[in-house]
Each structure stands twice: as C-alpha cells, then as structure tokens.
Amino acid sequence: MKAILVDDEPDGIKTLQRMLGLHCPSVNIAATCNSAAAARQQIEALKPDIVFLDIQMPGKSGIEMIGELVNRNFEIIFVTAHNEYMLQALQYSAADYLLKPVDEDRLIEAVERAEKRLQEGKKEELTETLLYNISKAGQPSEMRLCLPTMKGFMILKLDDIVFCEAERSYTVFHLEDRGDKKTVMVSKPLLDYENMLVDTSFFRIHKSFLINLKHVKEYQRGEGGIVIMSNNTEIEVSRRKKEQFLLKIKEIYKY
C-alpha cells in the first residue's frame, strides 16, 4: 500500500515511520508532509492507497484539508491527541484512529483493517459521514452512526434505532420499519455502544438491552417494570435501573 504520512511534528513522523517499518511491511511510505497544504499536493500527485493524517495542525487542520479534496479514493487512519469531541465523531463514523503516543498493536490492527477495506472497494461515504459528524461536534444526538456489517457498512440517524440487544460479543440493532431491513448485527459488544451513545436518548435498562427512549410507547409498573417500544417489543427493566430510567424519561419528556 502506497502511504503518505502527515504530521506537523517531525518526531511524530519519525516514530510512525519506524513503527510502520518494523510492524507493517505492506506499507510503502511514498511521502511525508508537515502541513495540510503540502499533504494536499502530495495526495493529488501520488494518489496514495492510505494516508496517516494528524488532525490538529497549525493553520489548516487535516479534516479541513480532506474536506477540500475532490477525490478521496484512499483509506485514512487519523492520528490525534485526545480530544473528546473529535474522538466522538471518529467513533460514530467508524473511522480508524490512533491516539498519540501511538500503540503498535493498534497500528497493526488499523493497517490490517485498511488493507481489507481496500480489497473490498473504496468507500468514500465513510469520509462524508465523518465530515458531517465533525460539523455536529458536541451534539451527539445530531450525529450519524456508521455500523460496520458483514457486507460493508450502514449509516443511520439515531432516531432510526429503536433499541440495541446484546448477543454474546455482538450487538443487534433493531430499527424502525424501513421496508428493507429491520435488524443489523455488528461485531462489537453492547458496552461499546453504551459508552459511545452517552449524552443521547439511549439508556441501558437491562444488561442485554440499550433502548432509545424516544421510541418508548408505554411503561408498565412492576418490580422493575416493562417498556413497550414503538415496534411493540416488550422489554424488561432491571430493578436496579428502574429509578434512573424513570428520571431519564422525565428529562426527555419534561413531565
């Protein structure tokens, strides 16, 4: 894979070059750049397969540069310092990213995933989703969620999701009746999505269920109680989650 490395810090580029040389023999570094302007020139000239892109750089950011490109037929692995809103946008968009200092195992995994995606065909829609989510930074409820599936990926508005169900180390998304697909299975545990969907209308009412409170149609009292969702699925509320669930419902519906 022909690669371009973009980072305004020389030490960052040197470290990444060394780690790729040691652990990722499939990556051929064609160019290194220390600014968004230089990166744009090299990307347009060299047409890389993969770009390792530092997000926060002086002047124009890596994200702004990507947004300006006409053709984005390459994989991107973002490299970033910790930024809560940026990480949220990356996670929602199912984008590959590496936190500084870069961990070698995560680097190897990210390169392997990028290589697999390249073999399956380029998917520019993922980048479009990321750019959209970054424009909604700090407003997680407005973001779109990209779900990696067996055949590729699916992009959803959060309002399309009725509830999520744990099935071993997988998560099953139950969707509003769209006429085409009512469920999607994703090879990530429910806990990952519970953590990702903090500060939205989602709440985990049971060890196996993360529900969208906007899709609650009815609540029936009991030890924990039962919720009836908009698709008429009945889901038990665990006893220890009952009080918190009722408080969240009050927050959303202001009653």
pLDDT digits (tens, 9 = 90+) for 188-212: 999 999 999 999 999 999 999 999 9
State how beta strands 2-6 and 28-33 pair.
parallel
Q: What is the number of alpha carbons within 13 Å of residue 64 lying toward its C-beta?
A: 9
Whole-prediction pTM: 0.83
From the list 168, 7, 179, 143, the residue with the least C-alpha distance to 78 is 7
Q: Is the pLDDT of residue 122 over 60?
A: no
Q: Which residue bears the tokens 């906007």?
A: 214
Let me know the angle formed at the C-alpha of 32 by 35 and 40, rounded to the nearest 5 degrees: 50
All domains in the chain, ordered by first residue: 2-135 (3.40.50.2300), 140-253 (2.40.50.1020)
Q: 3-state class of 244 per DSSP?
A: helix
Query: Cβ-count burial of 164 within 10 angstroms (0-12 exposed, 13-18 middle, 19+ buried)?
Result: buried
Does the pLDDT value for residue 164 go beyond 70? yes
Chain segment 208-231, per-residue pLDDT in tens: 999 999 999 999 999 999 999 999
Residue 82: which pLDDT band, with cuts at 50, 70 and 90?
confident
pLDDT category of residue 104 using cuts at 50, 70 and 90: very high
Buried b (16+ CB within 10 A) or exposed e, 71-98: ebebbbbbbbeeeeebebbbbbbbbbbb
The overall average pLDDT reported for the chain is 92
pLDDT band of 126, cuts 50, 70, 90: confident
Under a CB-based contact definition with an 8 Å cutoff, are residues 129 and 156 in contact? no
With vertex at residue 19, the alpha carbon angle to CA 31 and CA 40, rounded to the nearest 5 degrees, is 25
